[in-house]
Structure 1
Amino acid sequence: MQRNRFLGDLLSQLLVRRGSVRGKDDTRDIYELSHALLSAEGEVSGLRLASTIMARYAALDMGERLAFFLFLNTELEINPEDVAQLATAYAAAPTPELFHDLCEAAEPKRQEFLRRLNQPVGATAGLVAMRVDLLKHLKNEPDLARTNQDFVHLLRSWFNRGFLVLQQISWDTPARILDKIVAYEAVHQINDWDDLRRRLYPPDRRCFAFFHPAMPDEPLIFVEVALTEIIPNSIDAVLSDSRTPLEADQAKVAVFYSISNCQKGLTGISFGNLLIKQVVSELSLECPQLESFVTLSPIPGLNRWLETQTDDPDHGAAAQSVLSGDAVPEDVRAMAARYLLGAKRSDGLPRDPVARFHLGNGAEVHDIHAGADTSANGSAQSSGAMVNYLYDLTHAERNHEDFATAYTVAASRSVQALSTATLVTKPKEPTT
């Protein structure tokens, strides 16, 4: 089996190299090549055509790339009249033949084009990068959402759980991957290699990442974990360079303190839920004495929400106090609890993006801490407040269902009490 796979990979690379030479001599533009890829020519010479198109696309400037996306959006669209006629015919006589024809007509040609484009070595990474360009144009060209939907549809199938590989990132991981962990860290910046070593080398630190076989050197998402004796109330303590490391078998708590998505081209394809659950399983096997699995998470939307509450007659004074940095810890925690449990978007979901992620995965709001992140970013986005989300796998499925069906925010009794607690900072008495 391994010999056959090796031979297939070798032949594939040789064909790509030979095809790339012929591709340089092909005088057709990228649009003609795209039509050719979808034609009978694509059935025979698809690898060569796909390689040529990917190379031509890489040479385009942003304006030319926009024109290419507009071509995909209009020229490779479905024919609504054909779909309507076939749907009517199928409703009258649901035969397998009509079902086949209806499915074929209802699928945009873009999807088959992208499938055929994904033939050469490295094409998957190239298509992920192509979607990054597409997302940049969506704001000014909202009709491109149709093409974006086709990208998402295919990327979700190509990056489904069956293809993902969980790997532990350690200090012995190749430097080319460690460099990317540093670059992709999106929550707590890694300042240098010493900082990275403090997050990977000690016995009470772990890092796990998902990879895809088509992109073996590109992490898709990774999570940093601290093994602790108690649930922490400060990221400064977790990341302190002067702390005393704990032996793994002494830990009672696994703390997910940073989760970073690495590929902008995979926006909308969720890996976080799978990653957390699999890491919980891995750590449970390695450290069976662990009792709790929690996060120490930022509250990125808190201060933006507080700015909208400064005129509120009940808690406006406390909101102003938190924003100015004068609030007592009790008010910081209480206002954060009101935000996490009560601030909703127009669709009924919580305003906070991190809360939507963890609550959607079945976690509960477990505790809230003031002064937990004293960094410039922590002060700017949440006045230093952070939150623990608890992953109790015995309740995660029920929490997820309640959140998905009724937008119910699962929270501990202490956090529920915080959300209704009397504020220390009182509203000013109106002047006469």
Structure 2
Amino acid sequence: MKRFASSRVSSAAAFARCFSAPVTGTSGTEESWYLDMWRRLVFPSQDSTLSRGEFDSSNSSTTPMEPRHFLRAAGNHLPDGAVNGLWELYHSIHEDDKASQFFVSVSRCGPDLDRVRSHQSKLMEVTAAYEQACKADVGDKQRQSAEKSFMKAVAAMDESATPICERWFRQSTALPNGIRWMMDLRRRLLHTITNTEKAFAAAKQAPEAKDALLETVLYDLKSLDERLLSSFKEFFAKQYLLLEELTWKTTSPYVLERVIASEAVHPFPPGGLDSMKLRIRGGLEVPLDNTHQRHLFALYHPAVADEPLVSIQVSLCSGIENSVDRILNRPTPLQGKEEASHNVQKKQPHPAPLKDTAIFYSINNAQPSLKGIELGSMLIKRVVSSITTQPYKYVDPLTNAPHPITQFSTLSPMPGFMRWLAAETSKLERGLPHRIFGSTDAETTSRHFSELKAAIGGGDMTHEQIMFVVLNMFSDSNEFTHRTPNHLWYWNDELTSALKAPMMRSAAAYLVEEKRRGNMLDPVGNFHVGNGAIVHRINWLANCSEKGSSESACIMVNYRYDLRMLGENSTKYALEHTVAVGDDIKNMLGATA
């Protein structure tokens, strides 16, 4: 980071020379390395006998153009040599500081203002003529001619206002690896933006620092990213994307490894492809898990057919499942009669009941370069359509009978719950109004604090002390191992039973009542409810892992996708910010739901 920050400041003169003054500099210096590359684009004949890095600007009898001037001179369509040359230049860059200079250089290749003004004048002229033709009593041919001229002027104006970099992106899609290169470029661009933001924040902390340059660079980087994101939203539109089910037999190891690497919701255990094999149960040599049949789907773009864009993991279950530990065959504290019956069924030779529910339990963006492009909603809808229209693909492996899938639901984390709870606890500590248990009366709040105190053996602890102990317990799963030897806190039945009521009330209040600009505060909940799903149920001890404990106190949520109500629910949420809630949660929250 220090190296990056120092290089940004030391390059001030280079930026000034590149974009304000005539191009000067000595070949081979840090300030002029990429200008030499631009000269190769402008004067390719001079570079025909020179290797990279050997160009001597003194040989040029003509003053080389600056990058932005060269591209603007190319008109509406960039020469193929310029499009390919820019990519050659990009692929030659390995240092972060040079990548930043390249991105800023491309970002500043905006529209040619002289050409914009010329088309603007033409547009005003033909607009006046078109208005006159519409008002006057003229023949159809004259009016149609005026309308045609007007539409051509509008299109020309729009084209002239298109930044040069967007033309480069547009023409790059026609290259064999164009979209793949653009995805790599945005990945590096986002990395550069992150580093520049950190350097800018550090510079602002130093009173003597002059951070105006960094602020300008950051603006240019973000401007380029906005344009690239806009192009990506066109390239990765739903009509171009293909759905494919990934299986152990038919999917390449490379693709499966990409899915493993991108899995953030329920990371794969060590073991590489073997862990994937166990999760999707795709090989005949793997014993069939007839309790939960797991499937894996992904969206692809034909131009990058070996790169999954976004993936989703689906489990076929009997009813709406309340534990991801059971789905993934992990140990779970949800024992007792239900779990004992569950285990007995697996050992019996008779087949388990046919599944009637598809549970979406993990959605992951496999490409960091597609940040900001919403593909998850499209993927869910495609998978629902595949399961409902092609039931013959989803059959019981023992009886070969199709599963009558009639319900669709998620089993989702609450990644912001513990952060919110910590923030509300901080308010409590400072004597400010808090919403730890939502909008409720003092009596209910006092009762829940008493339940927490009894659970942890709080004695004479104050409310804030109780909350700090509870937060520490969830963030460090080993905090209460002394209560149950050799086990984590969620294996202590007495402790979890005492914690359940107050924590479930807090989680329900967080999901339903906490809003930001009218939308749900929880990002996962906001996504699914925005799609029209119902906050069906919250589940205690649903994800008993270190990650599940520290993020959401091992609580997970079922967002049910009622296909008949998706449109209505989505519209109400968008227009009225109304959250569709299941009966269990309504009863838990009472009149506030």
Into which bin does the TM-score normalised by the smaller protein fall? 0.7 to 0.9
Cα separation, 1, equivalents of 2:78 and 2:224: 26
1:53 counterpart = 2:64: no
* 1:280 alignment partner, one of 348, 363, 384: 384
Cα separation, 2, equivalents of 1:353 and 1:90: 49
RMSD after superposition = 3.4
Cα pair distance change 1:274/1:189, threshold 3 Å: same
> Matched residue of 2:512: which SS?
helix
What corresponds to 2:565 in structure 1? 395
* 2:407 alignment partner, one of 289, 292, 296: 292
What corresponds to 2:259 in structure 1? 181
Cα pair distance change 1:153/1:41, threshold 3 Å: closer
What corresponds to 1:205 in structure 2? 294
What corresponds to 2:471 in structure 1? 323
> Matched residue of 1:156: which SS?
helix
1:417 counterpart = 2:495: no
> Matched residue of 1:333: which SS?
helix
What corresponds to 2:532 in structure 1? 362
* 2:181 alignment partner, one of 111, 123, 126: 126
Cα separation, 2, equivalents of 1:118 and 1:40: 18
Cα pair distance change 1:268/1:78, threshold 3 Å: farther
What corresponds to 1:239 in structure 2? 328
Question: Over residues 23-80 of structure 1, what are the superposed CA-to-partner deviations in whole Å (9 max), with x where a residue is unaligned?
Answer: 9968699x9788766655996851x543332232122121111112212222324649
Unpaired segments ≥5 residues, structure 1: 1-18, 423-432
Cα pair distance change 1:108/1:230, threshold 3 Å: same
Cα separation, 2, equivalents of 1:278 and 1:407: 26
Cα pair distance change 1:380/1:298, threshold 3 Å: same
Moved more, 70-79 or 82-91: 82-91
> Matched residue of 1:298: which SS?
coil
1:23 and 1:49 in contact (8 A); partners too: no
1:226 and 1:255 in contact (8 A); partners too: yes
Cα separation, 2, equivalents of 1:324 and 1:206: 36
Task: Give 1:87 shift.
Answer: 7.1
* 2:505 alignment partner, one of 317, 331, 334: 334
Cα separation, 2, equivalents of 1:41 and 1:376: 57
Task: Give 1:407 shift.
Answer: 2.3
What corresponds to 2:481 in structure 1? none
In structure 2, give the amino acid aligned to 1:207: L
> Matched residue of 1:388: which SS?
strand
Cα pair distance change 1:372/1:144, threshold 3 Å: same
2:78 and 2:167 in contact (8 A); partners too: no
Cα pair distance change 1:87/1:261, threshold 3 Å: farther
Cα separation, 2, equivalents of 1:160 and 1:178: 24
Task: Give 1:89 shift.
Answer: 5.7
Moved more, 64-73 or 36-45: 36-45
Moved more, 151-160 or 305-314: 305-314
Task: Give 1:391 shift.
Answer: 0.8
Question: Over residues 300-348 of structure 1, what are the superposed CA-to-partner deviations in whole Å (9 max), with x where a residue is unaligned?
Answer: 0000000121214564746927524466212222111111111122x22
What corresponds to 1:307 in structure 2? 422
> Matched residue of 1:250: which SS?
coil
Cα separation, 2, equivalents of 1:37 and 1:302: 50
Cα pair distance change 1:249/1:37, threshold 3 Å: farther
Higher relative contact order (CA 8 A, sep 6+): 1
In structure 2, give the amino acid aligned to 1:189: P
Task: Give 1:389 shift.
Answer: 0.6
Moved more, 351-360 or 31-40: 31-40
Cα separation, 1, equivalents of 2:159 and 2:410: 45
1:69 and 1:144 in contact (8 A); partners too: yes
Cα pair distance change 1:85/1:147, threshold 3 Å: farther
Q: Given the two structures, how large is their TM-score scaled by the length of structure 2?
A: 0.61
> Matched residue of 1:121: which SS?
coil
> Matched residue of 1:124: which SS?
helix
Task: Give 1:362 shift.
Answer: 1.4
Unpaired segments ≥5 residues, structure 2: 1-43, 58-64, 131-149, 198-217, 282-287, 332-342, 395-402, 438-448, 453-465, 474-494
1:200 and 1:207 in contact (8 A); partners too: yes
1:37 and 1:116 in contact (8 A); partners too: no
Cα separation, 2, equivalents of 1:91 and 1:419: 60
Cα pair distance change 1:229/1:305, threshold 3 Å: same
Question: Over residues 235-284 of structure 1, what are the superposed CA-to-partner deviations in whole Å (9 max), with x where a residue is unaligned?
Answer: 11111168749979811111001001011111111111111111011112
Cα pair distance change 1:402/1:33, threshold 3 Å: same
Bigger Rg, which one: 2
Cα pair distance change 1:170/1:84, threshold 3 Å: same
In structure 1, give the amino acid aligned to 2:471: L
Cα separation, 2, equivalents of 1:24 and 1:154: 36
Cα separation, 2, equivalents of 1:223 and 1:162: 19
Aligned residue pairs total 401
Task: Give 1:197 shift.
Answer: 1.6
Cα pair distance change 1:75/1:37, threshold 3 Å: closer
Cα separation, 1, equivalents of 2:265 and 2:580: 24
What corresponds to 1:147 in structure 2? 224
Cα separation, 2, equivalents of 1:211 and 1:28: 46
1:101 counterpart = 2:156: yes
What corresponds to 1:267 in structure 2? 371
Cα separation, 2, equivalents of 1:383 and 1:133: 35
Cα pair distance change 1:250/1:298, threshold 3 Å: same
What corresponds to 2:274 in structure 1? 194
